[in-house]
Amino acid sequence: MQQLLNGLFIGSIYALFAIGFTLVFGILDRLNLAHPAVFAASAFVGIGLAEAFELSIWVILVLVFLFGAVLGLVIERVAFRPLKNRPDAHFAGLIASIAMAGMIVAVLQAFFGPQTRRFPEGTAPEGKVEILGASATYVQLAIVVICIGLVIALNVLVQRSSLGRSMRAVAENPTAARVLGINVDRVTAMTFSISSALGAVAGVLFALNVNSAQLGMGTAIELKGLAVIIVGGMGSLPGALVGGLILGIAEVFAIQYIGSSWRDFIAFALLFVILLLMPQGIFGKRKVREV
Amino acid sequence: MKMKLRAAAVVSASALLLAGCSGTGDGGDSGGGTGGLVGTGTGASCVIESPVKIGAALSLTGGAGSYGASQQQGLELALEELNAADGIEYKLSIEDDASEPRQGISVMETFAGDGTSIVLGPTLSNTAVAAMPIANEASMPVMGISTTAGGITDIGEFVFRDSLTEAQVIPQTIDAVIDEYDLKKVVVMYSNDDAFTESGYEVMAETLEGTNVEVLDTLTFSKADTDFRSLLTAAKDKNPDAIVVSALIEAAIPLVTQARELGIEQPIVGGNGFNNPKLMADAGDAAEGVVVGAAWNSASDNAENQAFLTAYEAKFGAQPDQFAAQAYAALYLIDSAVRSDCSAERADLRESIGSLKDVATPLGAVSINADRDAEHPAVVQIVKDGKFAVLR
């Protein structure tokens, strides 16, 4: 039971990270590899805020959400927009975002130093609850709740709001969307902004959960996040959630029943099998490209 | 462009000529590079005309950035103190190996080509294994100041280190813990994608094999991991008397925190990576009862160590860690080798470092053995009230 919970919590973190990733990927068809850097940056900024002003965790989450949103705008403006009219815009943006990631991490190191950091004690309410003989901290429970809440909220945003409609139009066909009077640049910027804000929240929760923030924390989770969105179905929000949970639980059970050395092997083999059976991912829709 | 090339050719040709000249001279006034590093007098009266170039390849950025920063401070302090003495002027140049083997190789190549007498570092065993052969091929002595993996000094005749190996520290630690807590069964955990932690694990396994203690399970993780709850749950289910861990500090902090959070109250025995004040600073109460073997403890009361602590605190306003202490001690070892036959020529240095005996440093009395490794007694420490106390 404890292991099931462990898997659920790890999975929620993967999902939270992947949701932001998949949003940009699904709507704009761009892979933003600066996302892991946002993840790390927000954790460090959150720790900086907590140390300097002794804020409550809720205030920090809101501030970091805003920080992420702004950082997302910057990433879009610097790494993606100048390249958008090039014929190889997707690939160029991908490379530019890697450069952005390197720069963000370098700035972080200049400000915070290379050391591992943590949130000061007492930032988040400490303590744990017992669920059927297994224990879970408040932070872990909050992660699951926030994760599910964000998926629902985002789904509503994309499906119901006018911004969401514009997003879906851009996802379908940017040129046609522009013809219909949608401000594609604005929608693109908003998408990046929301995506990074989510990545930022994920970063803070992750650092709280494991009591450690490292400059390389984004890179460590990057590939898993990528795997999760591909298995979940490119651009599918529920897919990211389910994919994250599957990966988390697969890892935990590999450890428990097969051996810790086989963890990544088992987890990724499982994802591979899922892809073989469902090539477009669990929640992915087959894309029809018309010539 | 053509002009530039020609100018470069002229410059390099004349450099070659110069080097040739100084090579044939008896080394009085050639000003660094080859020759000129043999002085007159011995010991404290040794005078070497040219500045002695010492290189350091430290991980100032990347995964091991926190270790490199400590080492840099230790070296700077020792340099300042040694240069205050008469006779020899040391010129220290510190380069960043970025915690990466490839970067370490290029840093080492630079030092090998610029007349540096000896290089300290690289910081990580991973990087050292890749970069030290370059120094050895160039017949340039190199001294590891934090590398503790096995096989480092087997690289060649010119490779030394002043950091006690895991193989020297861990057996002493484990024996002390078994005795202290009357251990019967343990679970071992280690990160299996790092040369340092892997070799630490091998020594642990070997030491445990020679005792009556039963190893219930061996769990592995990656050095980039920060969530250990599922591993720890698996460990807890086995109900061990203690958990023995080989991991770097980045993993140690979350691991210890999460272990206590899951209700694991047994002692956690760590390798050298745990030996960092950040463990108590960041893991807080969770760190209590963690046992760590170490090459150095701030509580050691030898005179050199007390002087080192005071000077370090005065210069940097912080407590030194083992990495700073070993870096600091290395420069003193080199100084005493250079002075012993009053030469900083690479070949002479190799001889003189190899025969160092009982040099007083903050680490205790250090000797270099036939395998070019340092020998001095280890300290077994336990975290008590937020501090490393000496267990025995």
B231 at interface of A, judged by CB pairs closer than 8 A: yes
Percent of chain B with pLDDT over 70: 91
Indicate whether B52 and B129 sit together in one domain. yes
pLDDT of B276:
81
Mean predicted lDDT score pLDDT of chain B? 87
What is the dihedral angle through the alpha carbons of B169, B172, B176, B182, rounded to the nearest 10 degrees?
110
Indicate whether B145 and B288 sit together in one domain. no
Secondary structure of residue B219 in the 3-state scheme:
strand
pLDDT of B35:
52
pLDDT of A287:
55
Please check the confidence at residue B143 and state whether its pLDDT lies above 90: yes
Please check the confidence at residue A285 and state whether its pLDDT lies above 70: no
Contact A219, A262 (CB under 8 A): no
Indicate whether B79 and B176 sit together in one domain. no
Tell me which residue range forms the domain holding B370: 7-19+30-164+302-376
Indicate whether B13 and B156 sit together in one domain. yes
Last residue of a domain, one of B273, B294, B315: B294
Q: What is the pLDDT of residues A228-275, one digit of tens each?
A: 888 887 777 888 888 888 888 888 888 888 877 888 888 788 888 888
Contact B56, B121 (CB under 8 A): yes
What type of residue is B256? V
Q: Which two tokens stand for residue B105?
A: 């190789």
Indicate whether B262 and B335 sit together in one domain. no
Task: Specify the range with the lowest mean pLDDT, choosing from A215-219, B30-34, B292-296.
Answer: B30-34
CA distances from A152 to A12, A27, A192, A227 (A): 14, 17, 19, 21
Beta strands (DSSP E) in B9-89 are 52-58
Indicate whether B15 and B145 sit together in one domain. yes
Indicate whether B114 and B157 sit together in one domain. yes
CA-based nearest residue to A60, from A115, A112, A125: A125
Q: Which two tokens stand for residue B149?
A: 């993996």
- Which of the pair, A103 or A288, is modelled with greater confidence? A103
Indicate whether B255 and B318 sit together in one domain. no
Contact B225, B283 (CB under 8 A): no
Last residue of a domain, one of B278, B294, B310: B294
Does a structural domain hold residue B112? yes
Indicate whether B312 and B370 sit together in one domain. yes
Secondary structure of residue B238 in the 3-state scheme:
coil
Does a structural domain hold residue B107? yes
Mean pLDDT for B369-391 is 88
A263: left (phi over 0), alpha (psi -120 to 50) or beta: alpha
Q: Which of A113, A116, A135 sits opposite B253 (nearest CB)?
A: A116
* Strand bridging mode B214-221 / B185-191: parallel
Phi (first) and psi of residue B312, to 5 degrees? -65, -45
Q: Which of A10, A216, A255 sits opposite B234 (nearest CB)?
A: A255
At B24, is the pLDDT very low, low, confident or very high (cuts 50, 70, 90)? very low
Does a structural domain hold residue B91? yes
A261 at interface of B, judged by CB pairs closer than 8 A: yes
Does a structural domain hold residue B391? no
Indicate whether B130 and B193 sit together in one domain. no
**From the CA of A167, how many Å to the nearest CA of chain B?**
35
Does a structural domain hold residue B25? no
Indicate whether B143 and B37 sit together in one domain. yes
Mean predicted lDDT score pLDDT of chain A? 84
Distance, in Å, from the CA atom of B225 to the CA atom of A251, rounded to the nearest integer, reads 12
Q: CB–CB of A114 and B65 under 8 A?
A: yes
Q: Name residues whose C-beta falls within 8 Å of residue A20's C-beta, 6 or more positions apart in sequence.
A: A35, A38, A194, A195, A196, A197, A198, A199, A202
Distance, in Å, from the CA atom of B29 to the CA atom of B15, rounded to the nearest integer, reads 16
Does a structural domain hold residue B390? no
Q: What is the pLDDT of residues B49-93, one digit of tens each?
A: 999 999 999 999 887 888 899 999 999 999 999 999 989 999 999
Please check the confidence at residue B22 and state whether its pLDDT lies above 50: no
- Whether this prediction's pTM lies above 0.80 is answered by no
CATH of the domain at B64: 3.40.50.2300
Q: Count the domains in chain B.
A: 2
For residue A74, count other CB atoms closer than 10 A to its CB: 17
Please check the confidence at residue A89 and state whether its pLDDT lies above 80: no
B322 at interface of A, judged by CB pairs closer than 8 A: no
Indicate whether B219 and B318 sit together in one domain. no
CA-based nearest residue to A129, from A117, A118, A145: A145
Q: CB–CB of A252 and B230 under 8 A?
A: yes
At B368, is the pLDDT very low, low, confident or very high (cuts 50, 70, 90)? very high
- Residues of A whose CB is below 8 A from B230: 3, 6-7, 10, 251-252, 255-256
Best mutation target among B123, B230, B260, B261 (most A Cβ atoms within 10 Å) is: B230
pLDDT of A77:
87
B389 CB burial (10 A radius; 0-12, 13-18, 19+): exposed
pLDDT of A286:
56
At A86, is the pLDDT very low, low, confident or very high (cuts 50, 70, 90)? confident
pLDDT of B33:
43
Mean pLDDT for A18-44 is 87
- Which of the pair, B259 or A151, is modelled with greater confidence? B259
At B336, is the pLDDT very low, low, confident or very high (cuts 50, 70, 90)? very high
B231-237, long-range: CB within 8 Å, 24+ apart, which pairs?
B231/A255, B231/A260, B231/B189, B232/B258, B232/B259, B232/B262, B232/B264, B233/A2, B233/A3, B233/A6, B233/A256, B233/B262, B234/A3, B234/A255, B234/A256, B234/A260, B235/B187, B235/B189, B235/B264, B236/B262, B236/B263, B236/B264
Does a structural domain hold residue B389? no
Q: CB–CB of B253 and A214 under 8 A?
A: no
pLDDT of A223:
84
Does a structural domain hold residue B381? no
DSSP string of B109-136?
A: HHHHHTT-SEEE--SSHHHHHHHHHHHH
pLDDT of B312:
96
pLDDT of B27:
36
